[in-house]
Amino acid sequence: MQSSPIAGLIGLYELIIFVRIILAWIPHDSEHPASLFLFKVTEPVLEPVRKYIPPMGGIDASPVVVFICLEFLKRIFV
């Protein structure tokens, strides 16, 4: 089965979200250009999800919801 370019871009975006999740768990410089890039690229998608699913007990579930939605989209384009 051959993947479409859109499915590849969705996979890349999933990777970017995953890196942001990992960075949330480890100490890092939030003003570093790479950190700022990750925030600028992912926040427009994560922030609207947080309006419907607020953090529970200090845990932000919005990346999980976004991952599930992206997987559905990726399966449509494969």
Could you report the per-residue pLDDT of 20-69, keeping only the tens digit for each? Answer: 989 888 888 889 999 999 999 999 999 999 999 888 888 888 999 999 99
Range of the domain at 49: 5-77
Residues 6+ apart with CB under 8 A from 67: 14, 17
pLDDT confidence tier of residue 2, bands split at 50, 70 and 90:
low
pTM beyond 0.75:
yes
Cβ atoms 38, 23 nearer than 8 A:
yes
Domain total in the chain: 1
φ, ψ for residue 29, nearest 5 deg: -85, 110
d(CA 53, CA 47): 10
- Cα angle 18, 23, 45; round to 5: 50
